[in-house]
Amino acid sequence: MPTHQSLSGSSDEDLLRRMIDTYPERFGQEYWAFFDGRVDPLLPATPTIIDLGCGPALLLRDLGGRYPRATLFGYDVTPAMIEHGRGLSYAGAKPALHVHDVTAQPLPHAAGTAHLVSMSSVLHVVDEPLPVLAEIRRVLAPGGVFLLNDWVRQPLASYLAWRRDVMDEPEDVSRRRGFRLFPVHAKYTADDWQWLLAEAGLAVREQVGVRYSHRIFVATPAGAA
């Protein structure tokens, strides 16, 4: 199975550095404004939060600051990511971080126990997303939130321009990486994501494009209040 690294052509260290460097832009003020307005009201004061494909664990660090009494878990298939996360300093709740392949093993959580499961820029690399979504659906508490934040298809010209102008890649780099990654990043439309979530028994309550390249979906188990 192709890994995230083989698809992106990055080494683990390259990907780690890129995730750290781009974190402030990816999870900036607009992200947190959306989170505070649309996700926070759905969570209890002491939530159990899971980040799948947590990367360097920066999102978990910031969620732990917002919910100091939360129980946090982060899983990632890349050991360098987990190692980095374990070395961070945490002002709030500290996450338990584990190397874990979401396509190979069930989540080590009982059914109906997670109040928030987050997945950011991960699901598009998974060959078969439905079993992973079924596992997320299994661990979500009634009314629990699946926060999916992932790439959505855009025209090739705007994707290449976005790499050059927003990611600040030199033209030759944005072309080289851009043509290789376009099929990966342009895999699903927003409608495709909605369809996948519905197939997995997850009802979309909100969706927003905080960044042009990505769409954020707030989904809860279908049929739950």
Ligand X SMILES: C[S@@+](CC[C@H](N)C(=O)[O-])C[C@H]1O[C@@H](n2cnc3c(N)ncnc32)[C@H](O)[C@@H]1O
Measured from the CB atom, the residue of 71 and 103 that comes closer to ligand X is 103
Measured from the CB atom, the residue of 48 and 149 that comes closer to ligand X is 149
Task: Tell me if 50 contacts ligand X by CB under 6 A.
Answer: no
Binding mask 105-144 for ligand X (x = CB under 6 A): ---------------xxx--xx------------------
Measured from the CB atom, the residue of 103 and 203 that comes closer to ligand X is 103
Strands (E), the chain: 48-52, 71-76, 96-99, 114-120, 140-151, 202-208, 214-221
The widest CA-to-CA distance across the chain, in whole angstroms, is 51
**Measured from the CB of residue 102, what is the shortest distance to ligand X in angstroms?**
4
**Sole window of 53-61, 86-94, 140-148, 155-163 interacting with ligand X (rule: CB under 6 A):** 53-61
Task: Tell me if 77 contacts ligand X by CB under 6 A.
Answer: yes
Sequence-distant (6+) residues with CB within 8 A of 176 are none
Measured from the CB atom, the residue of 115 and 211 that comes closer to ligand X is 211
**Sole window of 42-50, 61-69, 77-85, 187-195 interacting with ligand X (rule: CB under 6 A):** 77-85
> What gap in Å lies between CA 97 and CA 54, rounded to an integer?
9
Q: Which of 19, 43, 97, 181: binder of ligand X (CB under 6 A)? A: 19
> What gap in Å lies between CA 98 and CA 78, rounded to an integer?
10
Task: Tell me if 200 contacts ligand X by CB under 6 A.
Answer: no
Count of residues in the chain:
225
DSSP structural state of residue 34: H
**Cα separations (Å) of 78 from 75, 103, 161?**
9, 13, 30
Q: Which of 76, 85, 163, 217: binder of ligand X (CB under 6 A)? A: 76
Answer left, alpha or beta for residue 144, where phi above 0 means left and psi between -120 and 50 means alpha: beta
Alpha carbon 204 to chain centroid distance? 16
CB-closest chain residue to ligand X: 55
What residue ranges bind ligand X (CB under 6 A)?
4, 19, 23, 53-55, 75-78, 81, 101-103, 120-122, 125-126
